[in-house]
Amino acid sequence: MRAADIMSTDVVTIDRLASIFTAAQLMKQQQVRALIVPPASERDAYGIITATDISRSVADGKNPKVTYVCQVMTEPCIVVNPDLAVEHIAKLFARAKIRIAPVIQGQLLGIISLNDLLTKTDCLSKISADSTPQEKAELTELFGAEISEIDPDKLCENWCSG
């Protein structure tokens, strides 16, 4: 299975010169936790702003009505090729400590999240007691907790977004 098979194509974008207040309102309205920021020119890269970016900037005392998206977004952001296998996406997310990334091949095609990996693939069914120490370490990093006895059904029981 590839990124193109599980990505969402309903991507919400925002201009880099919008306020983070506007970004937060758009996230609430569209029920998303991240917005993609298109490049301003051919020399620029895609960016991403997440709900976490906004909450951190507000916690740092920035006024959301006068703080621009470009001041708090991640640019360049990590992007995923539509042909990348989902197993590699999971490893990429774990190593980069991200939960969402745009799918780009010349242009914005979609967006893929940790939730997509968990709900649209059989990646959890591949977890077994026979997993190698390296596989267990990668899963521990991906899920943010030590996995002593790997049970896919219990693994997601207390999962919360964030």
pLDDT at 126: 54
Domain assignment of residue 68, given as a range: 3-120
What φ, ψ does residue 66 adopt, rounded to 5°? -125, 5
pLDDT at 57: 97
CB-based burial label for 42 (10 Å; 0-12, 13-18, 19+)? exposed
Q: Note the pTM of the prediction, 2 decimals.
A: 0.76
Give the CA count within 13 Å in the CB-facing half-sphere of 108.
22
Residues 107 and 126 in one domain: no
Neighbours of 14 (CB within 10 A): 21
Residues 102 and 133 in one domain: no
pLDDT at 118: 87
| Helix boundaries (H) for the chain | 3-6, 20-30, 51-59, 69-72, 86-96, 114-119, 133-143, 152-155
Q: Which two tokens stand for residue 69?
A: 């998206």
DSSP 145: S
Residues 128 and 114 in one domain: no
Distance CA 102, CA 36 (A): 7
Domain count, the chain: 2
* pLDDT tens, per residue, the chain with 162 residues: 999 999 999 999 999 999 999 999 999 999 999 999 999 998 999 999 999 999 999 999 999 999 999 999 999 999 999 999 998 999 999 999 999 999 999 999 999 999 999 888 876 555 555 667 776 676 666 655 554 544 444 444 444 433
CATH code at position 70: 3.10.580.10
- The two counts, helices (H) then strands (E), for the chain are 8, 4
User: Would you call 101 helix, strand, or coil by DSSP?
Assistant: strand
Residues 86 and 10 in one domain: yes
Residues 85 and 150 in one domain: no
Residues 83 and 112 in one domain: yes
